[in-house]
Amino acid sequence: MVCAYTSHLLGKCLDKSPKSRSYTDIGQEAYGSKGRIIAATFIYLEIFLALVSYTISLHDNLSIVFPGTWISARWTHMSSPQLLTVIAVLIALPSLWLRDLSSISFLSSGGILMSIIIFASVALTAIFGWVRSDNEIPALRIRNIPMISGLYVFSFAGHIVFPDLYKSMKDPSKFTKVSIVSFTLVTALYTALAFMGAKMFGPGVSSQITLSLPRHLVVTKVAQWATVLTPITKYALEFAPFAIQLDRSLPGSMSSCMRTVVRGTVGSMLLVVILALALSVPYFEYVLSLTGSLVSICICVILPCGFYTKICWPSLSKPLFLLNALLIGIGCVLGVFGTISSSKSLIKSLQGHTSA
Q: What is the pLDDT of residues 76-117, one digit of tens each?
A: 777 788 888 888 888 888 877 776 666 666 777 787 888 889
| pLDDT at residue 233 in the model | 80
- CA gap 194, 251 in Å, rounded: 49
pTM given for the model: 0.86
CA distance 191 to 173: 29
Residue spans of alpha helices (H) in 250-317: 256-280, 284-291, 297, 303-311
Residue 10 pLDDT: 94
Single-letter code of the amino acid located at 10: L
Q: Which amino acid is at 18?
A: P
The reported pLDDT for the residue numbered 39 is: 93
Nearest of 270, 289, 272, 269 to residue 280 by alpha carbon: 272
Distance between CA atoms of 346 and 284, rounded to whole angstroms?
A: 10
Domain interval for residue 31: 1-355
Q: What does DSSP assign to residue 83?
A: H
**Cα distance between the two ends of the chain:** 43
Please state the domain count of the chain: 1
Write the single-letter amino acid at 24. T
On whether the CB atoms of residues 13 and 7 are closer than 8 A, the answer is: no
Question: Which residues, 6+ apart, have CB-to-CB distance to 193 below 8 Å?
Answer: 119, 122, 209
User: What angle do the packed helices 284-291 and 23-65 form, to 10 degrees?
Assistant: 180
Look at residue 35 in the predicted model and tell me its pLDDT: 94
CA R_g for the chain:
21
Per-residue pLDDT 10s for the chain (356 aa) are: 999 999 999 999 999 888 888 899 999 999 999 999 999 999 989 988 988 988 888 888 887 888 767 776 666 777 788 888 888 888 888 877 776 666 666 777 787 888 889 999 999 988 887 787 778 777 788 888 887 888 899 999 889 888 888 888 888 889 999 999 999 999 999 999 888 888 888 888 888 888 888 888 889 889 988 888 888 888 877 777 777 777 777 887 788 888 888 888 888 898 889 999 888 888 888 888 999 999 999 999 999 999 999 999 988 999 999 999 999 999 999 999 999 988 988 888 888 766 65
* Dihedral angle, C-alpha 137, 226, 91, 157, nearest 10 °: -60
Give the CATH number, domain containing residue 173. Answer: 1.20.1740.10
